[in-house]
Structure 1
Amino acid sequence: MPLLEDGRLRPDDWTSIEDDAPLPDGPAIISLDRLRAEAAALAGRNAPLGVAVAPETQPEEIAPFLDRLALVAVRMPKPKDGRAFTQARSLREHHGFTGEIRATGHIIPDHYAMLLRCGVTTVEVPEGTDPATWTRSRDAIRVGYQAAQGADRPLSLLRRKLELA
Structure 2
Amino acid sequence: MASIIKNRAIVDDDWTLVRPAEDGTLPLVSELPAGKVLVPFALWQVERDALVASRGAAEIGVWLAPDNEPADIVGDFDKLALIAVDFPVFRDGRGYSIGRLLRERYGYKGELRAIGDVLRDQITFMFRCGFDSYALRADKDFNDALKAFDDFSVQYQGAVDTSPLFRRRAAQAGADKVPA
- Consecutive unaligned residues of structure 2, counting only runs of 5 or more, are 21-25, 164-180
From 95, 101, 106, the counterpart of 2:117: 106
CA displacement at 1:72 relative to structure 2: 1.0
Determine the C-alpha separation between the residues in 1 that align with 2:46 and 2:129. Answer: 29
Kindly name which structure, 1 or 2, has the bigger radius of gyration based on alpha carbons: 2
Decide whether the 8 Å contact of 1:7 with 1:134 is kept in 2. Answer: no
Determine the C-alpha separation between the residues in 1 that align with 2:46 and 2:76. Answer: 12
- Flag the structure with more relative contact order, 1 or 2, with Cα contacts below 8 A and sequence separation at least 6: 1
Distance 1:108 1:129, change over 3 A: closer
Matches within 5 A, 1:65-80: 65-80=76-91
Question: Does residue 20 of structure 1 match 2:27?
Answer: yes
Identity %: 32
Give me the TM-score of the superposition, normalised by structure 1.
0.80
- Consecutive unaligned residues of structure 1, counting only runs of 5 or more, are 155-165
Equivalences, count: 152
Note the alpha carbon deviations across 1:65-99, whole angstroms, 9 max, x for none: 22211111101122121111111111111111111
CA displacement at 1:56 relative to structure 2: 0.9
From 30, 46, 51, the counterpart of 1:42: 51
CA displacement at 1:27 relative to structure 2: 1.2
Determine the C-alpha separation between the residues in 2 that align with 1:97 and 1:125. Answer: 22
Decide whether the 8 Å contact of 1:89 with 1:149 is kept in 2. Answer: yes
The Cα RMSD (Å) is 2.2
Determine the C-alpha separation between the residues in 1 that align with 2:137 and 2:88. Answer: 15
CA displacement at 1:129 relative to structure 2: 4.2
Distance 1:106 1:24, change over 3 A: closer
CA displacement at 1:127 relative to structure 2: 4.6
CA displacement at 1:130 relative to structure 2: 3.3
Question: Does residue 55 of structure 1 match 2:66?
Answer: yes
